Homo-oligomer: A and B are copies of this chain.
Amino acid sequence: MAAIARVSPKTVSRVINRDANVSPATKARVEAAILETGYVVNLAARSLAASRSYLIGMFMPNMSSHYCAEIFRGAARACRQHGFHLVVEEYDFGAATVVDRYEYGLRSTRCEALLLIPPVCDDMPLLEALDRDGVRYVCISPGRHDDRTTAIFADDSQGVASLARHLWNRGCRRFGLIAGPSSHASAAIRETAFTDTLKGLGAGPDDITMARPDWNGTIAEVGRKAALSLLSGPQARPDAIFAFNDEAAIGAITCARDLGLNIPGDVAIAGFDDSYMAQLVWPQLTTVHQPIAEIAIKAIQVIAEEQPAEHRRIYMPTHLVVRDSA
């Protein structure tokens, strides 16, 4: 390459890295040689010389397929746009600890930063290892969060409040709430936003019935059973059910159907996530859209731009999606 263009390696490097201090003639010569030879910089060599890997790492998410695919989609796109490459490390939950997967896997790649997703973003041994190595990280919806790091959140409250108002305006007055697992930080937020909004609209304490299922088994099945306790319990039957997420809501739909109830006539059902399934079930699910890919994109942007310290908590908007179930 350098020989063909009759310049030093350093000058090739200047052209590749868009250094301004190259004469137009030299630049043209180098660019011609690049085109001719199909030269592409060697990332490993650059990485070694510059002490920068141009790599961002991620652990394989343990979430729904929809969440997983959206995170990858957003992260991969943003990495490309910012000149990074995305490295995915397996983590199968239960077998090894995350920090082991880091120490004996990802660490050798010298990723510049990691994109951390629940529950991995709350794993203290991992965070300590990253701090020790000077590897930056951005957490998505972490449960615990101190001000050293940046965290991105979906603004669940806003979307859930819209949903609560929508149900109220539709005439619903008796509400059932299928709460999420207490380990999930969003669970409490969604619950509070839902009940507070309804109380603000005039609902009394007896108008809202909580179901707090054990989160064992498939989420849809948990949702179905929770809905059963709500719809056939001793209290007056709810005319609206809000489930922690779409899968639980789909379970609730199944339950209502089993009981011969009309949706949304007898009982309105709503979820959270706007996952792909929300459009596939019958009736199509009214839900709150969570911008998962955009959250991942934002996280990579934060990493790439090294945004200033004041941006420690970033909230991404959610919004109500009205379909047929509510």
What interface size band does chain A fall in? 35 or more
CB contact list, A201-241 vs B, under 8 A: 218, 220
Q: Which of B47, B90, B108 touches A40 (beta carbons < 8 Å)?
A: B108
| Contact (A247, B43) CB under 8 Å given A87-B86, A87-B87, A90-B76 | no
Query: Chain A interface mostly helix, strand, loop or mixed?
Result: helix
**Interface residue A138 (Cβ < 8 Å from any Cβ of B):** no
User: In angstroms, how far is the closest chain B Cβ from the Cβ of A301?
Assistant: 14
| Contact (A281, B279) CB under 8 Å given A87-B86, A108-B40 | no
Contact with B along A55-85 (1 / 0, CB 8 A): 0000010001110111011011101100001
User: In angstroms, how far is the closest chain B Cβ from the Cβ of A83?
Assistant: 9
B89 touches A85 (CB 8 A): yes
| Contact (A277, B279) CB under 8 Å given A47-B44, A68-B69, A86-B88 | no
**Interface residue A253 (Cβ < 8 Å from any Cβ of B):** yes
Q: Which of B105, B108, B282 touches A253 (beta carbons < 8 Å)?
A: B282
**Interface residue A48 (Cβ < 8 Å from any Cβ of B):** yes
A41 touches B280 (CB 8 A): no
By a CB distance below 8 angstroms, the chain B residues around A76 are 60, 88-90
By a CB distance below 8 angstroms, the chain B residues around A66 are 65
**Interface residue A14 (Cβ < 8 Å from any Cβ of B):** no
Contact with B along A271-307 (1 / 0, CB 8 A): 0000111011110000000000000000000000000
User: In angstroms, how far is the closest chain B Cβ from the Cβ of A326?
Assistant: 17
**Interface residue A266 (Cβ < 8 Å from any Cβ of B):** no
**Interface residue A42 (Cβ < 8 Å from any Cβ of B):** yes
- Give CA–CA (A79, B47) in the complex, Å: 22
- Give CA–CA (A88, B115) in the complex, Å: 14
A41 touches B89 (CB 8 A): no
